[in-house]
Amino acid sequence: MNEKAYKEARKRVKKKKDFYEHFTTYVVMSVFFLLLNLVTAPGQWWFYWPILGWGFGVVFHYLDVFGIPGLGTLSRDWEERAMEEEIKKIEGKRNGLYASDDYEELTLKELPRQKRSRWSDDELV
Query: According to the model, what pLDDT value does residue 24 have?
Result: 98
CA distance 91 to 100: 10
pLDDT above 90: residue 40: yes
| 68 or 38: which leads in pLDDT | 38
pTM: 0.57
Helix (H, G, I), strand (E, B) or coil at 38: helix
CA distance 15 to 9: 10
Task: Please measure the distance between the N-terminal and C-terminal CA atoms of the chain and give it in whole angstroms.
Answer: 54
**Residue-wise pLDDT tens digits, 83-106:** 777 877 777 766 665 545 555 677
pLDDT above 80: residue 18: yes
